[in-house]
Each structure stands twice: as structure tokens, then as C-alpha cells.
Amino acid sequence: MKRYPPVISGFPHMIHGADYNPEQWLKWKDEIWKEDIRLAKKAGMNSLSVGIFAWSMLEPEEGEFHFEWLDEVMDLLAENGMKAVLATPSAARPNWLAEKYPEVLRMNDQRVRNLFGGRHNHCMSSPAYREKVTIINTKLAQRYKDHPALGMWHVSNEISGDCHCPLCQQNFRIWLKKKYGTLDALNEAWWTTFWSHRYTRWEHIESPTQNWMGERDVHGLKLDWLRFTTDQHIDFYRVETAPLKAITPHIPCTANLMADHEGIDYYAYAKELDVVSWDNYPCWRGDEKGDTPIAIHAAFCHDLMYGLKRRPWLLMESSPSCTNWQPVAKLHRPNNLLRQSVQAVAHGADSVQYFQFRKSRGSCEKFHGAVVSHEGTEKTRVYKDVCQVGDALAQMDDIVGTVKDGKVALVFDYQNNWALQDMRGALQERTNYRGEMEKHYASLWKKQLPVEIIDQSCDFSGYKVVIAPMNYMVRGDFAKRVEEYVAAGGTFVTTYLTGYVDDTDLCFRHGFPGPLRQVLGIWAEELDSLYPEDENAILWNGKSYRAHSLCELIHPESAQTLGTYGSDFYQGMAALTVNHFGKGKAYYIAARTDEDFLDDFYAFLLKETDAEGVLGDAAYQGVSVQKRTDGQHEYLFLMNFTAEEKQICIDGQTHTLESRGVKIVTR
């Protein structure tokens, strides 16, 4: 049996909930609160996330606490058998706190202190902020530790960003001293002799700036700043959760992530979380052109969230209707909310939660989609859509905790992404690691594969194929583990721009792909960057595929050439190779291609490695089939991302999916 216990212990259901801010409706509470709970329950919702951004209502003046309103909300939830996803309020703070302790506000890279306002605007180093957060979190934990509604802690909200204040600079220097020990080691790792940037005193080290105002050219410094910032967030999370873990050790903690956010190494951060959760806001079109590209992006994000801990996660937010910050706040077409929700479950979610339960009357989110609109009743189309999701989730208790059990892993590495974003040369901003990653992913998605997305530090065991496109930075013991994995029979795939730099962004000496040279059996001598209108070709298997943007000039050493370049001065040189290494194989794709090449290449590879998707060879346009399993049963999620009716044949049985329809088949 491969099944994780439910996130909330003793609550073996799909969590169905929403962000809820009853404190905004205190004046109308008699009219609204009970009605909200009635509406939530009627829609099959079993939880609400409360307390997010509620600090000024919990502690309106320093040391003056008001939990009465939250007591009432918690009691209402408990009386109705619902669970609270209870937030710590640190993502926004009361005015008094910023006024009295200005250090809590962030300083930007230009060394300008922010004003009070907005949210997510706090310094992670500030002792005052740490103390105030500890006090309020302790009080929350003490007050609700035995409350039957308490299901989970929701720490802060969508953490992101950095702070360049003097306290953070000081912590950065401490962090660097710990990492490097001596300035000599740091100078070497950062290659600071370049442009006379050698450091002779720790106090000279300053965080990087985005423009010419300060240091922006020492890549090792920039990478370490991002690593430090990740560690700052981790450290702050530990401060936040210390009282929660001490007082309520049985209650899981999460923080809601953003799969498109690139500023924090989520693989490192996720180690701290008891469960990963994230906020998904796809820009569905819903028209006859179909939603396939949007579905693929959402699927990638979901699989990334699964891969962070290689286990089920929670969909902490999604919009039940339009999303107010998108360029076009389009409504969900019929069936779309259910499809969006089932898609998350298909990729490993054990919940469907929304932002937001009730639309606020004022400020910037008053027109964001919500379960309950300003009209306030159950008559709305959106409310009925939510009921439809509630009905579906109620049938899914068996799926809670089941796993993907993927045989194919895609390596997406945050630190490699940072290094590639800084790389000068190649195509500057068009180097586009994330975009290329999603292109490889798209090919696998079309093959109905339960892909797992991992980073360089993750374990490869259990995977038949590990794909690591554009693995420019090779950090830690990644290369050694790739060698072991391939030697033991694994299949490894990588591409151009692999094995150029180490973890402080120093180029490998003795030829690229650096420490992966032996396992790949090639030497990459040069990289050609092409103008958008230029093209070359990869000739492989009797076909010619367009190659463009980046073409690497490689020399097979122990590898065999499978495909060659079609034109230019490197016509006939190897463009696709395979190296037999121990019991396994390592493939190298030397140039950027279009999806047609990747589709054919992965079709060949998956067949060869016996890692084919849920539907084998069958190709369905705009349809996705994903799988979760407990080791005994397989739950197949059939999803139609087109506006037309589709038929899918599984085990000899034909299933009809209506426009934007979904179906779950157990076998």
C-alpha cells in the first residue's frame, strides 16, 4: 500500500475550503456569519481558512488582544463539523507595529525603507518583528490548542522577496562567514579579482543591487544572496512555527507557495513544511481554441508542488470564478471549475480550496471571484459550480493520500535557474530555462505520464528516466549520483548548456559538460546562439527537425552519434548522442528544437525504457489522463481540455467526456 495519512489527522476526506475573512463583516456578523457557514456546508465545504491578515483585529494596539470574534468563528466551525485552517497573521501588520518599530519594514535594494502598507512587507531579521510574531502565534496556539475546529496551521501568506536593511546585511555576512570561513575562500569562490572586486573586510560585503548603483556583476555573490534569502525565509518560518510546534505538536503546518515564483529555493524551503500547499490561478480561455497550453502549465506547477516532497499536497487557493489581477478577468465556462479542481487532485492534491469565500466590499480584491458574491445568496451560477465540486470531492475519500508513483522525473532546479538568469552570453533573456523545461514537460504531458518534478539534490531511485534539460550548473554531488544512477541501469537525458559551472558559478575547467563529461561521453566545445530568424536542423531517424536558438558544437568521446546537424559550418557534426555507461544510457540533445522533435524523441525513449504513459501509444489532442495509486487500485483522471466532446478508450472501454468534462475511473 502506498498511501499517506490524511493531512488533518482523523479527517480522511478531501479538504474543501476557502480563505474566509469574517472579521471584515464584524458589524453584520449576526446576519452574515451563520449564513456563511450554512452556505459553505451546503456547498459541501468542510473547512475555512481564517485569520489570514487579521492582525489588526486580533491586536489592535500593542499588547491588547481580542480573540472573542475568532472564538466565535472557531466555535461556529466546530459546531458544524468543519475544520479551521488557522493562519498566523504575519503577512500584514497593524499600523502601530510599523510606527513603533520601523525596523520591521523592508528596505529595498536601493537601501530605501518601505512605508507602512500593502502586505508581505516585513524584514525577516528584525528582532522586533520576530518577537511580535512569536507573541501572537503563541497566544493563538495556546487559545486554540484543544479546539475541535483546529485542523492545520497556515503560516503567513505567500512568502517572497528580500530585505536589504542593515540587520539583513549583518546576517548575510554572518551567513557568508559560516559558509566560507575565510575571505580568501570567498574571494576565490566569487572570482572577485575580476574588476578589482576583492574583499578585504567582511564589512565591505553588501547585498547585490539590480542596477548600476551597487554590485551586480559578481555572480557568486548574487547566487549566495538568493540562497541566503531562502535561508532567511526558512529561519523566519522556524520562528513562526516554534510556538505552534511546541504547543500543538499534533497539528500540521504549511505555508502557501506560488509555483511560478522563482526567488526562493522551494526544495529547501519545503523540507520545513509538514505539507506543501500552493495557490493556483490559471488564465483559462475556455473557448473553442481550447485550454491545452494553460492546462499543461497548471499541470507542470502541480507536479512541481508534488515533487517538492514527493507526496500529496494541498491546493490552498484557486478562484471559483474570475481572478481580479489577471489581465482579463474571464469567468469560468460551464464545467471549468470542476475541471480545474479535478486537475489538481489528479496531480496529487488532497484538497480544493478557494480564494475567497465571500467577496469583500472594499479595497483591491472586491471583484475577485468568490464562493459568495455581493448578492449574498446561493442563487448564483458560481455557487452552484462550487456545489458541483463539493459533490465530486465527497466521492473521493479513497483517493486521499494516494501517490503518483511516477517513473519519469524532470529535474527543475531553482539554483540552476538563478545561474542561467545571470548568464551573459547565449541568448540573454531568451535563454529561458523555465520555458524550455515546460516544453519538455509538454511532450511528456501529451503522453499521459505521471511526471514527478525534482531538483538536483533529490533522490533518483524508482525512476526509469531522469530528464534534466539545460543543466548549466552542476552542484553538490549531482554528477556523482547521475553516474551511479546510469551505471545501475537508469536512463538520463540532458541537453545543450549542461555542465558549465559549479555551485558558485565558476566555469568547469577541462571542458564542458564538466563533471558530467564521462557519463555523457561527449565534449561540448562551443555554443552557437542564433537570431530568431536563423535555423539549423537535427537529422535523426530519417527525419529533419528544426533546430534553433542554441546549437552546441559537441564531439562524441565514448558516445554514439544518433543525429547530426543539417547545415552551416557544423553540418554533419553530432547533434544527438547516446552513451552506454554501465547498465544504463545517457542521452544528449545538443540543440534547441521544437516540440515535434521532443514528441518523437520521448515517444522513442519511453518505449525503449518501458516507461510509457497511462494510455500507451494512443494520442489524444487536448485530453489528459493522470493517475494516482495506493499500490492496489489505480485512480485514472480523465480530463478534456477542449470545448468539444471527446472519447477515450481505456482497457477496451470507451468513455465520453463532454465539453470541458472530467471523469474518474478506478481500476
Catalytic residues: 158, 317
Task: Please identify, using beta-carbon distances, which residue of 325 and 604 lies nearer to ligand GLA.
Answer: 325
Q: Which position among 23, 36, 103, 158 is part of the footprint of ligand GLA (CB under 6 A)?
A: 158
Site string for Zn ion, 152-171 (x = CB under 5 A): -----------x-x-xx---
Q: How far is the CB of 52 from ligand GLA (least distance, A)?
A: 7
Task: Please identify, using beta-carbon distances, which residue of 286 and 369 lies nearer to ligand GLA.
Answer: 369
Q: How far is the CB of 356 from ligand GLA (least distance, A)?
A: 7
Instruction: Verify binding: residue 176, Zn ion, rule CB under 5 A.
Output: no
Phi, psi of 634 (to 5 degrees): -115, 130
Site string for ligand GLA, 338-377 (x = CB under 6 A): -----------------x---------x--x---------
Sign of torsion over alpha carbons 95, 101, 104, 108: positive
Site string for ligand GLA, 265-304 (x = CB under 6 A): --------------x-x-----------------------
Task: Provide Rg for the chain, Cα atoms.
Answer: 26
Task: Please identify, using beta-carbon distances, which residue of 91 and 664 lies nearer to Zn ion.
Answer: 91
Task: In whole angstroms, give the CA distance from residue 356 to residue 14.
Answer: 18
Task: In whole angstroms, give the CA distance from residue 131 to residue 147.
Answer: 25
Q: How far is the CB of 325 from ligand GLA (least distance, A)?
A: 6
Q: How far is the CB of 165 from Zn ion (least distance, A)?
A: 3
3-state DSSP helix/strand/coil % of the chain, to nearest 5: 35, 20, 45
Chosen from Zn ion, ligand GLA, none, partner binding at 163 (C-beta under 5 to 8 Å by type): Zn ion
Chosen from ligand GLA, Zn ion, none, partner binding at 446 (C-beta under 5 to 8 Å by type): none
DSSP element (H, E) containing 254 = strand 253-254
The contacts of residue 360 (CB under 8 Å, 6+ apart) are: 21, 24, 366
Chosen from Zn ion, ligand GLA, none, partner binding at 279 (C-beta under 5 to 8 Å by type): ligand GLA
Q: How far is the CB of 158 from Zn ion (least distance, A)?
A: 18
Task: In whole angstroms, give the CA distance from residue 169 to residue 214.
Answer: 14
User: Number of helices (H) and strands (E), helices first, in the chain?
Assistant: 17, 25
Instruction: Return the range that interacts with ligand GLA (CB under 6 A); candidates 294-302, 317-325, 455-463, 636-644.
Output: 317-325
Task: In whole angstroms, give the CA distance from residue 373 to residue 354.
Answer: 13
CA distances from 457 to 271, 476, 653 (A): 12, 7, 42
Contact status, residue 405 vs residue 2, Cβ threshold 8 Å: yes
Instruction: Verify binding: residue 317, ligand GLA, rule CB under 6 A.
Output: yes
Task: Please identify, using beta-carbon distances, which residue of 167 and 294 lies nearer to Zn ion.
Answer: 167
Instruction: Verify binding: residue 157, ligand GLA, rule CB under 6 A.
Output: yes
DSSP annotation of 352 reads E
DSSP element (H, E) containing 589 = strand 584-589
Site string for Zn ion, 99-128 (x = CB under 5 A): ------------------------x-x---
Q: How far is the CB of 350 from ligand GLA (least distance, A)?
A: 19
Look-up of cell digits 558530467: 516
Q: At what angle do helices 183-190 and 219-247 cross, to 10 degrees?
A: 120
Instruction: Verify binding: residue 154, ligand GLA, rule CB under 6 A.
Output: no
Query: Applying CB under 6 A, which residues contact ligand GLA?
Result: 157-158, 279, 281, 317, 323, 325, 355, 365, 368
